[in-house]
């Protein structure tokens, strides 16, 4: 009996989603935020959460809302003017989401990120830990680019890319990109109304670029192509991507039910394998930890996190979030992982119980020296 899940069944089985909603779906023809539309998204997200799915929402709309509040009819080109509009608009965006989630007794949290937050390993771990903690608490993170302090050099450029990087960050199994079109079509549906929808494709299929790039609509080079690029970013951590029509009634719930809506771009690797491969091969080792026999067994045979008490010695110079090598007492490397403490802090707490970290350092960022989600066996 073949028990392998079909692509759409895998979508309905995903337990952690990143959902990105674009400005076109959130704004009311330049009049600011569409509160009814936001209410509809919130009701669906709450239903997903109640069914056991963790949801991270990446929301556009701050600049558009700021423009409406400031009375601007045209989107500015100067970066500081965009930043000003975003600063004003964020107030309205957060208020709108908070009011809607409160109707259901749910808590939301605003999280503003920029590229440096994910490029810097220490800030990457901080952001990851915060988002995972929020999800564990049942809180819905509402994420946007930190436009107020971003510069042209560090801007994500679009929230599709931001959503993909957040997907990598939190190990989500599914990225949903909601647009004002029902997915990717073989030809621009605005020019060719009968063009077939592409229901299923490989995220790495470069032939899709020609289809998306041929469109002169808002979902052409500046729209659909960026969604394909985002899908490839998400696929690096094994996440599948769905590009779907945000104007379809209860679209998120239909996707949850496995309906054939939108375009599904399938990653060619499982999430765990992809993340572990990235950890093992893409970061430079900065330090070395010598483990006692008990710690070696816990990490290698039981898949546990590395605790300070199991480390006999530390060498190298590293900061929080940098890669360290685990070796046994014979010097054989058994694993690598991202350190939760820098080299000096690690040297102070090794051999001690996790409950002693606060007493030794005066604070405790994590009970684990390296969490099992951030290590790979060799």
**How confident is residue 1, by pLDDT bands cut at 50, 70 and 90?**
very low
User: What CA–CA distances, in Å, run from 92 to 67, 87, 147, 175, 361?
Assistant: 11, 10, 15, 25, 41
Closest CA to 96 of 164, 165, 144, 155: 144
Please write the tens of the pLDDT for every residue from 310-331.
999 999 999 998 889 999 999 9
Q: What value does the mean pLDDT take over residues 10-21? A: 88
Please write the tens of the pLDDT for every residue from 52-102.
999 999 998 888 889 989 999 888 888 888 889 889 999 999 999 999 999
Q: Over 90: is that where the pLDDT of 373 sits?
A: no
pLDDT of residue 315: 96
pLDDT of residue 86: 87
- Of 14-23, 72-81, 337-346, 353-362, the least confident: 72-81
Q: Over 60: is that where the pLDDT of 153 sits?
A: no
- Read off the pTM: 0.77
3-state per-residue secondary structure call for the chain: CCCCCCHHHHHHHCCEEEEEECHHHHECCCCCECHHHHHHHHHHHHHHHHCCCEEEEEECCHHHHHHHHHCCCCCCCCHHHHHHHHHHHHHHHHHHHHHHHHCCCCCEEEEEECHHHHHCHHHHHHHHHHHHHHHHCCCEEEEEECCCCCCCCCCCCCHHHHHHHHHHHHCCCEEEEEECCCCCECCCCCCCCCCCECCEEECCCCHHHHHHHCCCCCCHHHHHHHHHHHHHHHHCCCCEEEEEECCCCCHHHHHHCCCCCCEEEECCCCHHHHHHHHHHHCCCEEEEEEECHHHHHHHHCCCCCECHHHEEEEEECCCCCCEEEEECCCCCEEEEEECCCCHHHHHHHCCCCHHHHHHHHCCCCCCCCECHHHEEEC
Pick the CATH number of 283-377 from 2.60.40.1080, 2.30.130.10, 1.10.3720.10, 3.30.420.10: 2.30.130.10
In the chain, domain spans: 7-270, 283-377
For domain 7-270, is the CATH number 3.40.1160.10? yes
């Amino acid at each position: 009996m073949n028990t392998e899940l079909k692509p759409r069944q895998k979508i309905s089985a995903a337990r952690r989603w990143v959902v990105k909603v674009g400005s076109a779906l959130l704004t009311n023809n330049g009049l600011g935020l569409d509160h009814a539309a936001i209410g509809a998204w919130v009701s669906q997200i709450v239903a997903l959460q109640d069914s056991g799915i963790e949801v991270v929402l990446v929301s556009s709309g701050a600049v558009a809302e700021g423009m409406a509040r400031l009375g601007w009819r045209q989107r500015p080109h100067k970066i500081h003017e965009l930043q000003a509009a975003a600063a004003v608009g964020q107030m309205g965006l957060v208020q709108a989401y908070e009011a809607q989630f409160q109707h259901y007794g749910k808590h939301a949290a605003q999280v503003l990120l920029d590229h440096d937050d994910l490029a810097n390993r220490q800030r990457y771990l901080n952001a990851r830990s915060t988002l995972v903690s929020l999800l564990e608490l049942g809180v819905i993170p509402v994420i946007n680019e930190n436009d107020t302090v971003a510069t042209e050099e560090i801007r994500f450029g679009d929230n599709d890319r931001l959503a993909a990087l957040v997907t990598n960050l939190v190990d989500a199994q599914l990225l949903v990109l909601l647009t004002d079109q029902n997915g990717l079509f073989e030809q621009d549906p605005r020019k060719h109304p009968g063009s077939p929808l592409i229901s299923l494709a490989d995220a790495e299929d470069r032939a899709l670029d020609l289809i998306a790039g041929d469109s002169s609509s808002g979902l052409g080079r500046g729209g659909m192509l960026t969604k394909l690029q985002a899908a490839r970013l998400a696929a690096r951590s094994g996440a599948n991507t769905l590009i779907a029509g945000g104007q379809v009634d209860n679209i998120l719930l239909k996707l949850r039910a496995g309906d054939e809506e939108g375009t599904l771009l399938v990653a060619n690797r499982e999430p765990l394998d992809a993340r572990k491969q990235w950890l093992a091969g893409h970061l430079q080792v900065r330090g070395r930890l010598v483990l006692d026999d008990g710690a070696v067994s816990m990490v290698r045979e039981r898949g546990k996190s590395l605790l300070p008490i199991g480390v006999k010695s530390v060498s190298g110079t590293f900061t929080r979030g940098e890669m360290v090598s685990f070796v046994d007492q014979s010097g054989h490397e058994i694993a690598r992982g991202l350190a939760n403490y820098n080299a000096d802090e690690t040297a102070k707490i090794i051999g001690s119980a996790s409950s002693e970290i606060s007493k030794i350092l005066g604070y405790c960022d994590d009970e684990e020296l390296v969490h099992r989600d951030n290590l790979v066996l060799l």
